[in-house]
Chain A
Amino acid sequence: MDTPKTGEYAHIGKSVVIKGELSGSEDLYVDGQVDGSIELRNNSLIVGPNGIVKANVSAKGVTVQGKLDGKINASDRVEFRKSAVVSGDVVAQRIAIEDGAYFQGKVDIQKEPGKAVAS
């Protein structure tokens, strides 16, 4: 996966270490270290190949190429690439795991509630 263009994602580089609560209303690419929590609600998180995240994550979509230790709550899709090492429970509508990825935890698929049928 190519590194997203800077203009598309807020970027945390591989030498950056953050301890605390991260929140935002734009997509986030983490290739450094985050210790705490990440709250993106309607946006996506990508953990890059050098990323080390020890945090509970709440986002629309989550893609992991590096390491993530924490709960993932995604309103849409979660994706673990082959280099991913993930430990923690996942709640999402969909999950995709590439061959080679390591995952330890619970997966709870929660589909979006269906639309009401017109009478």
Chain B
Amino acid sequence: MSSVAENVMRFFRGSSDQAAVPAVPQKRMRRSSGMGEISRLLNSEEALYVLDLGSTSANNINFLTAKGHKNYSEDLLRASLDPDLRVKDETGKLIVDSKKFLDENLTYQNGLFDIVLVWNLPDYMEENLVKPMIDRLWSVMKPGGLLLAFFHTRDAGPDSPCYRFHITGTDMLEMQEVRLPEKGTPRLQRVFNNRHIENLFRDFASIKFFLARDAIREVLLVR
């Protein structure tokens, strides 16, 4: 009887505990084939120029600079949410001014970068920014440079968490939920299919897809 009472109490205690929201963003690990390919280049060459477009990551900065590479960080998703970039289109809808966005971001000399880590940015950026951003990245990359991007393979719903990626090993990434100050969790904007992705990167020399079990399609491109 006491064990039944204990189970009942545990049930009610468990319910109230489950109502509590975790105070810190959740983390999990994933193995990345695309990152494995990038790491091969990082380990075989010296003083590469690497552009990381995810949220500021001490892990990534330390990982890359410890290998002797030059690391550039730019949190493009957060930059794209700047209210000063908002303008009205012809229908009166508020959109991001892509010209102003590129005047203020990704302002590098042409042909600078050996590696660009785009992560899951295209899935979360506003529609009218994605293609201009990819075109700009093509310009600032060296011929033969590598670009890594992640895409959802199915709609995970508008409330699905947005992750940033910390490099923890040759092909291991730690995924940490992104919560932006005053803006909360970024929303998944769209799901690209293979044809869309090929069109997006049509100026690149080659494209390689890696499918993973966690409904993420990794794409590795050669400039």
Do A and B pair up? The answer is: yes
Binding site for B on A (CB under 8 A): 95-99, 101-109
* A8 to B74 CA separation, bound complex (whole angstroms): 35
Residues of B within 8 A of A97 (CB): 56-58, 61
Contacts of A107 in B (CB 8 A): 61, 65, 70-73
Per-residue CB contact flags for chain B residues 68-85 toward chain A (1 = under 8 Å, else 0) read 001111110011000000
Asked if B62 is at the interface (CB within 8 A of a chain A CB), the reply is yes
Q: Taking A101-B56, A102-B56, A103-B56 as contacts, is the C-beta distance between A95 and B72 under 8 angstroms?
A: no
* CA–CA, A106 and B61, complex, Å: 9
Can you report 25 A-B residue pairs in the complex whose CB atoms are below 8 A from each other? Answer: A95-B58, A95-B62, A95-B65, A96-B58, A97-B56, A97-B57, A97-B61, A98-B58, A101-B56, A101-B58, A102-B78, A103-B61, A103-B75, A104-B56, A104-B73, A104-B74, A105-B73, A106-B71, A106-B73, A107-B61, A107-B70, A107-B73, A108-B65, A108-B70, A109-B65
> Is B58 within 8 A of A106, CB to CB?
no
- Contact: B58 with A104, CB < 8 Å? no
**Interface residue tally on B, bucketed by range:** 10 to 19
What residues of A have a CB within 8 angstroms of the CB of B71 in the complex?
A: 106-107
A101 and B181 CA atoms in complex are apart in Å by 11
Query: Which listed residue (A96, A101, A105) contacts B72, Cβ 8 A?
Result: A105
Known: A97-B56, A108-B70. A102 touches B75 (CB 8 A): yes
Rounded to whole angstroms, the CA-CA distance of A70 and B70 in the bound complex is 18
Q: What's the least CB distance linking B175 to chain A, in Å?
A: 14
CB under 8 Å from chain A, chain B span 29-69 = 56-58, 61-62, 65-66
Beta-carbon contact of B75 and A106 below 8 Å: no
Q: Are B73 and A103 touching (Cβ within 8 A)?
A: yes
Bound-complex Cα distance A57 to B62 (A): 22
Measured CB to CB, the nearest residue on chain A to B64 is A107
Closest Cβ of chain B: how far from A63's Cβ, in Å?
A: 14
Residue of A with least CB distance to B105: A104
Which of A96, A106, A108 counts the most B-chain CB atoms under 10 A from its CB?
Answer: A106
Q: Which residues of B contact A109 (CB under 8 A)?
A: 65-66
Give Cα distance in the complex from A98 to B62, angstroms.
12
Q: In the complex, which of the residues A95, A99, A101, A108 has the most CB atoms of chain B within 10 Å of its own CB atom?
A: A99
- Chain B, residue nearest A110 (CB): B65
Residues in chain B near residue A101, CB distance under 8 A: 56, 58
Chain B residues positioned under 8 Å from A105 (CB to CB) = 72-73
| Closest Cβ–Cβ distance, residue A98 to chain B (whole Å) | 7
**Minimum C-beta distance from B1 to chain A (A):** 48
CB distance from A28 to the nearest CB of B (A): 25
B22 → chain A closest CB, angstroms: 15
**In the complex, what residues of A have CB within 8 A of residue B57's CB?**
97
How long is the Cα–Cα vector from A109 to B62 in the complex, in angstroms? 9
A6 to B57, CA, bound (A): 33
B106 to chain A: closest CB distance in Å? 11
Instruction: Please state if A104 and B75 are interface contacts (CB–CB under 8 Å).
Output: yes
